[in-house]
Structure 1
Amino acid sequence: MIIELSHRIVDGMITYPGIPAPALGVHLTREDSRKVYAPGTEFHIGTITLAANTGTYLDTPHHRYADGPDLSQVPLSKMADLPGLVVRAHNGERTAHAGQGPDARAVHVGQGLDVRGRAVLIHTGFDRHFGTDAYFHDHPYLAPESAAWLAEQGAALVGIDSLNIDDTPPHGERPAHSILLRAGIPLVEHMTGLAALPDEGFRFHAAPPMVAGMGTFPVRAYAIVP
C-alpha cells in the first residue's frame, strides 16, 4: 500500500507567511499545439513560478549553511527508501510528548527510541489546519534538545506535519534546523497523512529534483506499507 504524505500544490496557495504563492501558467496551449503537430495530435506544456519552500518540501543542509550539500549533492540514500518511524506527538502517546506551560507546543522525542538510519516523522495532527489562517499561529515544533538527541542518535531524516520544525518567534532563531542540517540530516516540513501510517514497518520516500545551488524544493513524499 502506498500512502500519500504531501499537500497538493495549487495556484495561489500560501504555505508560509511572506513567501509568495505559486503561479501556474501555460507555455503551449492545446489549441496552439495543433498548428505544430500532425492532425489529431495535441499537447499542453505548462509553466510554474514558485518559491522553493512551497507545499511539502525537503530542506538540505545548503538551506541553512552555505557550505552544506545542496539538492544535487545529497545522496538518494538520505531521502529515499528509508525505514520509517512515526512519533505521535499530538496526544502524548508512546514516543513523544508535548511540553507544559509556555512550552506546551514543543515536541520532545526520545525515551529510548531506535532512530538510527530511520526517517523520523513527527505526527502532531496540525496538518488539519493547512490552507487556513490557523495554520500560521501557535504551531507545534520540535524541542531543540530533541533535535540534538536525534542528531546524536543518527536519524537519517526528520519530518513534521506542521508549519515549521522550529518555533517561529520574531527574533528568527531556528535551533532544530541548525542542529539537524549541520549534522547532514534532511528535513521535510508541511507533511500530511501521518495518521494513516503505522508506528513503524514502512519505507519512506521524499526525493526532490537535482537542482544545483538550491537548498530546498517541493517533494512528493510517500510511504510504502507492506
Structure 2
Amino acid sequence: MTTLIDLTHPIHEDMPVYPGTEQPVISTGCSIEQDGFLEKKITFYSHTGTHMDAPAHLIKGGKYLDQYDISRFYGSAIVVHLELNEDKSIDLGVLNPVESQLKNTDFLLIHTGWSRYWGTDDYFANFPVLTPEAAEWMAGIGLKGIGLDVISADSADTRTYPIHKILLGSDMVIVENLANLDQLHEGAFEFSCFPLHFQQADGSPIRAVASI
C-alpha cells in the first residue's frame, strides 16, 4: 500500500521567510455574505516557503521553471540522513556512500534535521550547507534536482551564492525548506515537487510529496 508523506511547510502570513523578503499576505477578496462565494487573494514572493529555485534565479540566461517539461518535477529519489560535523558542512564524506544509488536516481534529498528550528530565529543562521567540492560532485551526476531542509543552499552571509551557482549551472533545480524528511526511510521512493505554472518562473512554491 502506497503512503504519501507531505514534505511541505504550509504558507501563512506569519511564516518564516528569507531575511528581507516580505511576508505573504492572504486576504478575503470575495465572501459568501457579500458575493455569494469565497475567494482569497494571495500575495507572496516566488521563493516563499517550501519552494524550488530555477537556474534563472542566479544564472544569467538560465532556464525558467516553465521552460522544463512537467516530467522534470517528478521522479525517483533517495534521502540521506546526516550526522553533522562541528562546522555543519555537508562534505563528500557523507555523500560518497550513496554514489552507486544516485546513478539510477532523479533527486537527492538531504535531511539535516534543521527543520526542527522552523519558526524560530535559529532557522536563519549557521544552517548546514554543501561544501563547494560536494556541490561540484553533485553537479556532475546528472540529477534532476536536490532537496534540502534548510532555507538556502548557501550560507546566510553569502553575497555570491557559489553553491547555488554550481548546482543551478548544471541545469539542476534546488528545493529548499523541505519538511518531515525524518519520516523517510533509506531506499528509493517517488518524489514530486510541482511548481506553479507561470511565465518566466525564477522560482515557485511547491507541494513536495514523497510516495513510499
Q: Is residue 2:89 matched to residue 1:106? A: yes
Q: Percent identity?
A: 31
Residues 50-199 of structure 1: pairs in structure 2 closer than 5 A: 50-80=44-74, 82-89=75-82, 91=83, 98-100=84-86, 104-108=87-91, 109-111=95-97, 113=99, 114-116=101-103, 117-169=105-157, 171-199=158-186
Listed one character per residue, the Cα deviations across residues 164-206 of structure 1 (whole Å, up to 9, x for unaligned) are 111222x512122101111110010000111101122210000
- Partners of 1:60 and 1:74 within 8 A in 2: no
- Partners of 2:16 and 2:118 within 8 A in 1: no
- Partners of 2:124 and 2:156 within 8 A in 1: no
Alpha-carbon RMSD across the aligned residues, in angstroms, is 1.4
The runs of at least 4 aligned residues of structure 1 exceeding 6 Å deviation read none
Deviation at 1:142, TM superposition (A): 1.4
Do the aligned partners of residues 112 and 23 (structure 1) sit closer, same or farther apart at CA in structure 2, a change above 3 Å counting? Answer: closer
- Partners of 1:168 and 1:174 within 8 A in 2: no
Instruction: Provide the rounded CA distance (Å) in 1 between the counterparts of 2:125 and 2:109.
Output: 21
Larger radius of gyration: 1
Counterpart residue identity of residue 32, structure 2:
R
Could you say which residue in structure 1 is the equivalent of 2:10? 8
Q: Scaled by the length of structure 1, what TM-score is found?
A: 0.86
Listed one character per residue, the Cα deviations across residues 105-158 of structure 1 (whole Å, up to 9, x for unaligned) are 111222352323421000000000001111112111111111110111112210
Counterpart residue identity of residue 137, structure 1:
A
Choose between structure 1 and 2: higher helix proportion: 2
Q: Scaled by the length of structure 2, what TM-score is found?
A: 0.91
